[in-house]
Structures are given as structure tokens and as C-alpha cells.
Amino acid sequence: MSAAAVKGAKGAAGKTMSGAEMIVEVLAQQGVDTVFGYSGGAILPTYDAVLRHNTAAGNSKLRLVVPANEQGAGFMAAGYARASGRPGALIVTSGPGATNTVTPIRDCMADSIPLVMISGQVPRAAIGTDAFQEAPVFNIMTACAKHVFLVKEPEELEATMRTAFEIATTGRPGPVVIDVPKDVQNWMGQYQGTGTLSLRGYRERQEDLASRRMEKEQAKEFFAQLAKSERPLIYAGGGVIAGNAAKELRAFAKAFGIPVVTTLMGIGSVSTTDPLSMRMLGMHGAAFANYAVDDCDFLMAVGSRFDDRVAGKVKEFAQNAKFIAHIDIDAAEIGKVKAVDWSWVGQAKVGLADLTAYGRNFKKSFTPWQKHCKALKAEHPMNYDRNSPLIQPYRVLEELNVITKGDAIVTTGVGQHQMWAAQYCDFQKERTWITSGSMGTMGFGLPAAIGAQLACPGKTVIDVDGDGSIRMNLGELETLTTYDVPVKVLLLNNLGDGMVRQWQKMYFGNRFSGTDKSLHKKDFVRAAEADGFGFAKRVTENAAVRKTLEKFIEFDGPALLEVMIDPDAGVYPMVGPGSSYREMTTGDWIKPRANVEAVAEEEATDPGAMPDLF
């Protein structure tokens, strides 16, 4: 929260103002500098209040970004929150304006992203009459959000706004929806400048979580088991990012020399270039990461939830681990999917810091295991057909990686391009990898990149997208040029829904139902030019990839580069749904483990470096 915002809010205390003006005052008080949304009849008083707030002398300005569609606004707010760690803010109208945000609200809930959405509603007297542009927002959003408010008492509006930000950002973060009838926005009352709703039970739980520290007996038990281990592995998830615990995770891993695998949402919690990083595990995780999971004898899950795309066949996930530990802020995640032997519920950054401090005299070396993990990376690296005359998407991302050195913010849509970016791009810091994880929402990448760029104006922001995914919110290309947001859109075009086609090839006998005539007529370069892009180019030859990528990144302003890639390029490795890591398909170019005998032979030559696999 900025000092100017706080000063402005306190200065307004005692003044008579409308409910709409109170909404804007609380946004300013909470330090919000950017709001995303689309206007309409039921929210017009609040939009008018935004304009009047911004033109009044001495007020902090609320930048208003209007998208092509409310779904785009929701993903922009989410991208802003994911990149900055601050709650995103979203203002939409009633009816279709609110229902268009259901997907981004559910997406934020699934990935634990803090967001506050304000939706207009028909006047209180008209609720339930099927009034024009009425929708049961409270009923719909209750199933999708962390919490929903329908403001029926105007006197509670101001306190409700502050409480929404509190709920969105405390404990396990998530989206909060405030549905505000139009007559409540027009109501006149005295602004208090302070105060929240009474949430005794919730606050008691959050205060308990915030004050919780690792007890010495728990830490002692943890290190007693770690001392018995020869092959410990950290399995870090999105909770590390959401809980701002990346610094503590890196310190813990370094202090005890423990390799780290991350989930899709945990990418960036440790630098992918760190020697201890084993990159991403799971359905499309690196082969060496999944082999490390198979080999470990001690698994420490931090801010991760044993998702089906990670655990696969749950019984066989990390089946050689004799001890599983789990740190999470949500007690409901402990033992939900996989039984664990040790757990601690609280803030990950606190738990990790306490463990690191307690274990300062822990001296056991895991050098043989580190060497084994290094050998896994050397033996089973990511790879592809490097001699193909067709442009391989992997090569495009490798070249991009050389240019950005892992320092750019990368957003993605959902599909093959998403997994390729996760596999082939480096990420030096947290909050530089922004993607739709649990919901897997196509159309996420472009609007999320806009939000991320506005949150981090000094950073290079690249939307790595696919032709199917970008179509979902293609209208936001115009938002980029309207607001001169210098996002770089890298479009990997394989003329179809590549991930769906890959599954149809592998599991449905090449029956391309729904993808046999997928949309492929769009000229994306012309579309970008029509929206005012100064840089919009297409690459069709391998020889032009590197040089064009460099010009694309260097361009001062919004830019689109469409690369026509091999339509048959697949995402490998792949662990089929419900399968174990031992059933992983590595494709034609990634070397799998030879056979069980070879693994057993390696174990016999270095018993301290390998587990009892069978």
C-alpha cells in the first residue's frame, strides 16, 4: 500500500459520498493502482466514480484498463496478481458481464491467486424478477470463488470492500467477489475510512496460521528421518510462489544439498539453472525429474498437492520413498491424495526457515545422490530432431532462451506450447512463469501477459501462445496497442489443436474428431497489423528463426511473431493419465532408461547413490 493512497483514504474519512465513491476510495486505500474491467448499466455509478476520483486533485490515480471481453479483464487481473504478488482488481457489470468472468474466477481459485472482483447488480428491489441483465452472481460464484458477498445493506459496503481484500490475501489466497446492487452504489452515506466485517472464526484461524512456528520436536523428527535418507528430494509446488517462500526454499535446499523438482505451478521457485534443480516433474515433466522421483527414498512436498497430473498412479508415485513429509498452509491438502509420514500446516516460508535454522548442525552429505541426479540429467536430457527441415518448436524456445537468459516473464495459453515453454525455457526467479495450471484455460496467455506487463513495466514480458489458444481471447491484441503495452506475442502455429491431436493419435486410434477441420484460416499477421502492431511477422524457414526472434524481442512496443512449426511435433515425455512414471513415453529423441537390469547394476556399483528399486 502506498503512503499516498493511505493518506488520501484517511483524508476522505467523515465525508458524505455515494456507495460507488466508497468502492473507489477503498481501492485506493488498499494500494490498488490498476483496475481491469468493462462497463455497463448496473456498474455505471462506479465507473463514473473512478473517473471523478482520477480527476480530483491530490488523489492517487487508478489506471483503468478496458479489454475486449470481461474474461480478458479477469485474466489481466490474474496476470497482474501472479506477476506482482499483489491482489488483482476487476470491475464488471451485471448479468453477462459477471458471468463472463466465471472462468477467470475459477481459474484463480484453482491456482490460489488473490483477486477482488466487483460486479454491478440490478437494484435490490429487482433481484429475483429476471430483470434486464440480471444473473444470480452469488449462487454462481459461490461454487467458484474463495468467498462471495452480495451487499444488501449499504452501510456495510465500505467494510465489505476491505474484508474482501483481507480474505483474498490471507491464508491460502484466492478470488473474492462482491456483488453490488446499483441502488447501493447510488446510496449516500458517511465514509468511515476504516473498519471491516466481523469474521471471528476466520480471523482466529488466520492468526493461528500466521503465528504458527515449527516446534522443536517436529523439526527433530524431520531431521532424524532425513539422517536415515540417502536420496532426499524436494517436490515444490505453486504454494511456494503464492506463499512468497522461494527465498526460504532455495536457502533450505542449498543448506542441506537436496535436489528439487517442481510442479508446473512451482516453476521459478528455484532457478532452473541451479545445479540442484531437476526442473518439472509429472505428466510432461523432464524424464530425469521423473526418474529422480522414482529413485528418491525421502520426499519432501512443499506447497504442492499431489495433483493427478503429477502423481498419476498415486500408489506408485515415489514408491521407493520410505518417508514422505508435507508442508502446506491448507490442512485439507495433507493426506488428501497421498498418505504422508510427517506434516506441518502453516506458512511455507516460516516452516522452511525454522527447519533451516534448527538443522544448522546437520552435517550429512548427499553428494552421491547429487552426482546421481546430475548423471540423470546428462543421460536423459530434453531433446528433439535437430536435423528436421521443419521448424521445431523446441528449437524456437531454445533460441528464445539464449536471448532472454531466463530473465523474462513468460505467460502461456494452454496446450502443447505451454508444456514446451515449461520444458525448454529457463526461469531465474519466482513470478516469471505465469500459466493456467489446475484449470488449464485456453485463452489465458495474452490477457495474462497484459496484466503482468502492467504490474512489471520494466520487465520483458512474452506470451508464448498457440493458434488454438490465442483465438479464445484474440480481441486483446487491440488492448495491447490501445494502451501501448509492449508485450511480445510469440505464436507457435501448428494449424490445429496440437495437444488434443496428440492424445487422439496416442489413445484414440488417429480418430481426429473435432480436430479434423480445426480453424486454420486466420491470418494472424494481418490481424495484428489491423490492430495497430508495428511489428507483425511470420517465420516459415529455420534459417530465419534466430535473427527474427532477436528483432522481435528488441522491438520497442507490442510485437507479434508467428512461427509456422512442424504440425506433428509432440510433447514428450508423457506419462499417460493414471499411469506411473515407469510407464512414461519419452518419444523418439529423449533417451529412456534402458531396462531394470541396467538400473540394478548401477545400484550394485554405487549402493549409496541408488535406491532399492524393485
Domains plus CATH for the chain? 3-209 (3.40.50.970), 212-380+584-605 (3.40.50.1220), 393-564 (3.40.50.970)
* Residue 58 pLDDT grade (very low, low, confident, very high; cuts 50, 70, 90): confident
Q: How many CA atoms lie within 13 A of 59 on its CB side?
A: 23
Share of residues in the chain with pLDDT > 70 (%): 95
Instruction: Identify which of 456, 158, 519, 205 has the alpha carbon closest to the alpha carbon of residue 346.
Output: 205
Lookup: cell for 7: 493518506
- According to the model, what pLDDT value does residue 596 have? 38
Average pLDDT over residues 264-288: 98
Q: Which amino acids are annotated catalytic?
A: 70, 132-133, 182, 499
In sequence order, the β-bridge partners of residue 561 are 490, 537
How many C-beta atoms surround the C-beta of residue 588 within 10 A? 9
Instruction: Identify which of 474, 477, 566, 569 has the alpha carbon closest to the alpha carbon of residue 519.
Output: 474
- According to the model, what pLDDT value does residue 470 have? 97
How many C-beta atoms surround the C-beta of residue 143 within 10 A? 11
Q: Would you say residue 36 has pLDDT above 60?
A: yes
Q: Would you say residue 66 has pLDDT above 90?
A: yes
Backbone angles phi, psi at 410, to 5 degrees: -115, 125
Report the C-alpha gap between 566 and 395 in whole angstroms: 11
- According to the model, what pLDDT value does residue 520 have? 81
Average pLDDT over residues 182-206: 96
- Each residue's pLDDT tens digit, 449-476: 999 999 999 999 999 999 999 999 999 9
Cα–Cα–Cα angle for 247, 248, 249, nearest 5°?
A: 95
* Residue 412 pLDDT grade (very low, low, confident, very high; cuts 50, 70, 90): very high
Q: Would you say residue 602 has pLDDT above 80?
A: no
How many C-beta atoms surround the C-beta of residue 606 within 10 A? 12
- According to the model, what pLDDT value does residue 595 have? 59
- Each residue's pLDDT tens digit, 214-249: 999 999 999 999 999 999 999 999 999 999 999 999
Q: Sign (positive/negative) of CA torsion 382, 468, 98, 91? A: positive
Q: Sign (positive/negative) of CA torsion 520, 523, 525, 531? A: negative
Report the C-alpha gap between 101 and 90 in whole angstroms: 9
What's the whole-model pTM score? 0.93
In sequence order, the β-bridge partners of residue 64 are 35
Backbone angles phi, psi at 188, to 5 degrees: -110, 135
CA distances, 128 to each of 44, 143, 153, 328, 432 (Å): 21, 19, 17, 41, 44
Q: What is the mean pLDDT of the chain?
A: 94
- Each residue's pLDDT tens digit, 522-572: 999 999 999 999 999 999 999 999 999 999 999 999 999 999 999 999 999
The answer to whether the beta carbons of residues 174 and 108 sit under 8 Å apart is yes
Render 233-290 in DSSP notation, one character per residue. Answer: EEEE-HHHHHTT-HHHHHHHHHHHT--EEE-STTTTSS-TTSTTEEEE-STTS-HHHH
> Which of 56-60, 256-260, 326-330 shows the lowest per-residue confidence on average (mean pLDDT)?
56-60
